[in-house]
Amino acid sequence: MTYLDIVFKYGAVPGENEMRAIDTMREVYGIRRVRFNPKDCTVRVEFDASRLKQDAVAKLLRSAGVDVREPVVLA
């Protein structure tokens, strides 16, 4: 397993339903950790790169109801 981090900007703040969907997504799809930073309006996702790609992670977040925007370049 190769774990990577990706950070996305998001628009609307996720609510209770979105957080439940993210919790379910974490257990099923190889998402290891999801952390929100409300100050910067970003979400950091640690995922198994041997199972998922960046686009798939964004799609999973969107399907959970998160208003995902552009990825943030990590230095």
Higher pLDDT, 11 or 25: 11
Would you state the pLDDT for residue 75? 67
- Total number of domains in the chain: 1
3-state secondary structure the chain: CCEEEEEEEECCCCCHHHHHHHHHHHHHHCEEEEEEECCCCEEEEEEECCCCCHHHHHHHHHHCCCCEEEEECCC
**Does residue 30 register a pLDDT over 90?**
no
| Mean pLDDT to the nearest integer, 7-19 | 92
CATH number of the domain enclosing 56: 3.30.70.100
Give the residue-averaged pLDDT of 33-55: 93
| Structural domain harbouring 10 | 3-72
